Structure 1
Amino acid sequence: MTAIKQIQKTNLGSTKIKHFIIRYFTALKYAFTKGVSLAQSPPSLNPSKIAMMPIQDNNYQRIYDYLINIGLILSITLLMYLILFSITFLSLEGPQEYRENAITFTTHLLLKGANPYSLENLPTYLNAYGIVYNLI
């Protein structure tokens, strides 16, 4: 399904916005397949006729397909890198950020019977949660 048909089926709320987007994409498609700029495109063509025009096999279409394929390969590569990084990062045994130790330290102080909110413990044992959070 082309982008123009998807836009026609969606509910964008305002028909003016919907028609503007359809006209914009059809003009871009016409300019790209014909190899002309938007200023040279004939104003007499109906946008619905432009949308139904067959894509011609020319240099612009080959360049477009080449760029789409490069974009797909690049995005799949980056997605695989992100998945690999996430699996590696989440499988580490230690805390994943500096603030995760604050709850453990506060609970340790509570179990020892000390006050984690006293002045001598503030820089190390300070966290955003209340005292009941550690007891749960």
Structure 2
Amino acid sequence: MKIIIINGPNLNLLGRRENNIYGNETFNDFFEKLQKKYANQEVSYFQSNIEGELIDKIQEVGYKYDGIILNAAAYTHTSIGIADAVKAIETPVVEVHISNTFSRETFRHKSYISPNAKGVIVGFGLQSYELALQSFLT
């Protein structure tokens, strides 16, 4: 199975950013553990702070991969372009958020991606990514 994790803005700062919300572990450290645990799966990773690069990556893999795990971060709540990219592709997308977005600021309660996602996982920390991965394997 070929799965890609696509992370949006500021997620490159995990482990240093708002540890009370996002924890102390870097995404790269977490990703290495995930790859080892699921060594029989092809799991790759892409991160960008730039909306257009995220759209380009979604379009690039959206007809070739078996699944996309997408944490568009703040773009979740603002980007119709990313939402349209998710809608346009064939590969199923699971929307993921590390924090419980519904316990945060009101603007984080709206997702433009959710209506076109296979599912949504929020609030389980970095474990949210593994839950999303497992959803493709069952």
Say which structure is richer in strand.
Answer: 2
Higher CA-based Rg = 1
TM-score range, shorter chain: under 0.3
| TM-score (normalised: structure 1) | 0.21
Higher helix proportion, which one? 1
Select the structure with the greater relative contact order (CA < 8 A; seq sep ≥ 6). Answer: 2
The TM-score with structure 2 as length reference comes to: 0.21
